[in-house]
Amino acid sequence: MLAVLFDTFGTVVDWRSGVSAAVHRVGMARGVEVDAVAFADAWRAKYEPSMKPVRDGRRPFVTLTELHRENLTATMAEFGLELPPDEVDDLNHAWERLPPWPDSVEGLTLLRERHIVGPLSNGDLGLLTRMAKRAGLPWDVIIGSDVTHRYKPQPEAYLRAAAFLDLEPAQVMLAAAHNDDLAAARRCGLSTAFIPRPTEHGPGQSRDLQPSSDWNVVATDVIDLAHQLNART
């Protein structure tokens, strides 16, 4: 294995805790009552639908940061939250300030001793770069969706990432907490690793609790993935 690329939101960082904490802080500062966790879930729920017109070619490529901001203003309207534009921008940058899961930094540090590590995320390069600096994620390389110009699960999102690294698809592994992401990567010839994140969507999470297929590796977390891969090479 030469490169291990990671789904990021949910797999490496905990978006629900990070976004809801940022929303909570904004509400406190404004003296407004907001259900911060519900707000975070509502904001994130717009993520997939907002990428669809771009994937379908009905809308020119726009970065995830732009989609996040559109989805944020829609969510604010639903929750009756009003903010001046610079505070909207700042809240939108909550996605650059997400906390890593407890094992992520140590696991990536172990992995990168023998492999190229990087995100393979729908996030854009600027967002992912600032997230990595803030969270201390020791990526070797960042290939944002604005570099491949495709949103997962479009095949080119995976294939172009491998091509930019001058690697064959089979020389690249996608590690993700989401079975559908791994299925799309496998269809492109990538190697696959499943890492469960059973609280990504909160305590009542019902999806992605188990691997849905015989992925190349099933690991308990990123540290375990590093131990399994380093033991093979």
Owner of token pair 């009003």: 82
User: CB 128 → its own copies: shortest distance, Å?
Assistant: 8
Report the site for its own copies in 27-66 (rule: CB under 8 A): 63, 65
Binding to its own copies (CB under 8 A) within 129-188 occurs at 129-130, 132-133, 140-144, 146-147, 164-167
Helices (H), the chain: 15-30, 36-45, 47-55, 64-79, 85-92, 104-111, 125-135, 145-148, 155-164, 179-187, 222-232
127 binds its own copies (CB under 8 A): yes
Q: Is 212 exposed, middle or buried (0-12, 13-18, 19+ CB in 10 A)?
A: middle
> Nearest approach, Cβ of 167 to its own copies (angstroms)?
7
Tell whether residue 100 is a contact of its own copies (CB under 8 A).
Answer: no
Alpha-carbon torsion (154, 223, 218, 228), positive or negative: positive
**Nearer CB in complex with its own copies: 41/140:** 140
Closest approach, Cβ 160 to its own copies, in A, equals 10
The residues binding its own copies (CB under 8 A) are 63, 65, 112, 116, 124-127, 129-130, 132-133, 140-144, 146-147, 164-167
